Amino acid sequence: MTALAQALAKGSLGNRLWLYSNYHCNLTCTYCLTESGPLVSRRELDPDTMVDLAHEARALGFTQLGITGGEPFLIPHMPELLLELSRVLPVLVLTNGTLFRRALLDRMAPLADADVTLQISLDHPDPVANDVMRGPQNFRKVVDAVPALLRHGIGVRIATTVEDPDADDLARLCALHRNLGITDDDHIVRPILRRGRARTGDMGVVARYLDLPPELTVTADGAFWSPFGPTVTGGVLDTDLLLTRTVRPLQRPVQAMLTVLGARPEGADSTLNIR
């Protein structure tokens, strides 16, 4: 058994390979780790490269893919790319859920039969409080998109990112997501991480690399320890969680990851529930 296979089997390395499809976004969320927005550098991963990486990941023993950004659905052919990726490995896509108008929903239809799940951000049960963090009309667009996607047969999870969780707000949010058709198992709650725009805005919890579950993450800038690694602060890429600039063959960053994992103290598991 290879060192990678052992790490994946033990769970000391996450079995999902994350790909940052792009860094630009139609939103400018106040706590965004990557300082994404409409005008930032796109830093896109080439779709062919993403497919090649998916094949490499499967050959190495990874069992899932994660796609994040930026907003992945700003990439013109994202539904078709997701279909192709899902033929290699099951795919989880992180999206703000605001772009699913009729035309895009129609193009999403073939994904009903594919192993693709969308994770949509929704932070607060009150539209105003939610939209202060995420942008105008975000709440309405999300609560419209979730049932529409479910009607198209596409799997949806809800991710809630909060600074100070309030029990009452959380209860109302859970009632809302259940009403939208999302079960409790498909709702995750996580803290704001003090990186990127959250750091500039004096929000969130500080996380060392030991606090972040190791999940190999590939971007146009290189390979990182975790999907929370390739953040941007003050317009500059954070490199503290950078593993390698070289991402292909995927074995190169995998080897770097295993080297770091080998130096990780025993029992250094995540404590912040960051996922």
Partner 1 sequence: MSAAVPPVDVPTRPGGAPRITLIDAASAGLLLRQHFSSGDPGPVIASLAHVPELVGPTLPFLGAVLGPSWIPAREKEIVILRTSAVMGCRYCTEAHSVVALDSGLNVREVRALRGELPVGDVFTAEEERALVAWCDAVAQGAEADIRQARQVLDVDDARLVELTLLVATTVMLNRYATALALPTSLDVRERLLREDL
Binding of partner 1 by 241 (CB under 8 A): yes
According to the binding rule CB under 8 A, does residue 250 interact with partner 1?
Answer: no
Residue 13: strand, helix, or coil: coil
Cα 30 to Cα 22: distance, rounded to the nearest angstrom: 19
With CB under 8 A as the contact rule, which of the stretches 3-11, 43-51, 91-99, 255-263 interacts with partner 1? 255-263
273 makes contact with partner 1 (CB under 8 A):
no
Residue 224, beta-bridge partner list: 217, 242
Residues 190-229 that bind partner 1 (CB under 8 A): 209, 225
Measured CA to CA, the distance from residue 178 to residue 217 in angstroms comes to: 31
Q: How far apart are the first and last CA of the chain?
A: 28
| Cα 139 to Cα 169: distance, rounded to the nearest angstrom | 15
Q: Is 238 in the site for partner 1 (CB under 8 A)?
A: yes
Tell me if 246 contacts partner 1 by CB under 8 A: yes
Q: Exactly one of 27, 243, 250, 258 binds partner 1 (CB under 8 A); which one? A: 243
The verdict on 259 binding partner 1 (CB under 8 A) reads: yes
Q: In this chain, which of 12, 28, 244, 270 binds partner 1, going by CB under 8 A?
A: 244
Shorter beta-carbon distance to partner 1: residue 164 or 202: 202
State which residue, 167 or 236, has the beta carbon closest to partner 1: 236
CA distance 143 to 176: 9
* 19 in contact with partner 1 (CB under 8 A): no
At CA 242, angle to CA 64 and CA 40, rounded to 5?
A: 85
What is the DSSP-derived secondary structure letter of residue 211?
A: G
Neighbours of 199 (CB within 10 A): 20
Contact residues for partner 1, defined by CB under 8 A: 209, 225, 236, 238-246, 252, 256, 259-260
